[in-house]
Chain A
Amino acid sequence: MSRTGSTSTLPSDPPRRWQAWFVPFVLIALTGLLLADPWPHVSPVGPAAVVPASATDMTPVRRPILKPETVVAGMTYRCSECHNLFPSPVETDRPLTQHRAIVLEHGINARCFNCHNRENRDAFADDRGGPIPFDQPPLLCAKCHGPVYRDWAHGVHGRTNGYWNPKLGPMERRKCVECHDPHNPAFKPMRPAPGPNTLRMGDRRSEAEGRSETKNPLLIYRQRLPGGDGDEAKPQRHRR
Chain B
Amino acid sequence: MKRYLTFLWQCARISFVGDWRYYTWMTVLTVLSLVGLHAWCTQLVNGLVTTGMTDQVSWGVYIANFTYLVGLAAAAAMLVIPVYIYRNMHLHHVVIFGELLAVAVIVMCLLFVTVDLGRPDRFAHLLQRFNFPVSMLTWDVIALNGYLILNLHICGYLLYCAYCEREPAKVFYVPFVFVAIVWAVSIHTVTAFLYVGLGGRPFWNSAIIAPRFLASAFAAGPAFIILTLQIVRHYTRYQVGDDALLTLRRIVQVATIINIFLLGCELFTEFYSDSAHIASSRYLFFGLHGRHALVPWIWTAVAFNVLATILLVLPASRGLKVLNVACVLTIVGIWIEKGMGLIVPAFVPTPLGEVVEYVPTVHEVQICLGIWAFGLLLYTLFVRMSVPVLSGELTYRKDHGVSHEDHRRATAETV
Contact = CB atoms under 8 A, between A and B. Distances in A.
Partners in one complex: yes
Interface of A: 1-3, 5-6, 19-20, 22-23, 26-27, 30, 34, 37, 39-41, 43-45, 198-202, 207, 209-211, 215
Contacts of A37: 38
Contact of B19 (A19, A27, A210): A19
B4 interface: no
A200 B22 CA distance: 42
Interface stretch (B44-52, B82-90, B203-211): B44-52
Contact of B354 (A30, A40, A207, A215): A207
A67 B350 CA distance: 52
Contact of A207 (B239, B289, B393): B289
A1 B52 CA distance: 50
Interface stretch (B67-75, B114-122, B313-321, B356-364): B356-364
Given A3-B237, A200-B52, A34 B35 contact: yes
A39 B239 contact: no
Given A22-B27, A41-B46, A1 B390 contact: yes
A198 B289 contact: no
21 contacts: A1-B93, A1-B391, A1-B392, A2-B390, A19-B18, A22-B27, A27-B30, A30-B31, A37-B38, A39-B39, A39-B42, A41-B45, A43-B46, A198-B55, A199-B49, A201-B54, A201-B356, A207-B289, A209-B290, A210-B290, A210-B355
Given A22-B24, A198-B54, 9 more contacts: A1-B392, A2-B392, A5-B393, A20-B20, A20-B23, A22-B27, A34-B34, A207-B289, A211-B289
Contacts of B18: 19
A26 B31 contact: yes
B23 A41 contact: no
A22 to B, nearest CB: 7
A23 B27 contact: yes
Nearest to B45: A41
B291 interface: yes
Contacts of B54: 198-201
B353 interface: yes
A20 B15 CA distance: 13
B276 interface: yes
B400 interface: no
Interface residues of B, number: 42
A18 to B, nearest CB: 9
B23 A210 contact: no
Contacts of A200: 52, 54, 356
A207 B19 contact: no
B398 A6 contact: yes
B256 interface: no
A41 B48 CA distance: 11
Contacts of A34: 34-35, 38
A93 B56 CA distance: 60
A30 B34 contact: yes
Contacts of B330: none
Nearest to B42: A41
A171 to B, nearest CB: 32
Contact of A41 (B22, B50, B276, B356): B50
Nearest to A33: B35
Interface in B270-312: 276, 289-291
Nearest to B357: A202
A23 B23 contact: yes
Contacts of B52: 200
A19 to B, nearest CB: 4
A1 B49 contact: no
A75 to B, nearest CB: 56
A6 B389 CA distance: 12
Interface in B351-397: 353-357, 362-363, 366, 390-393
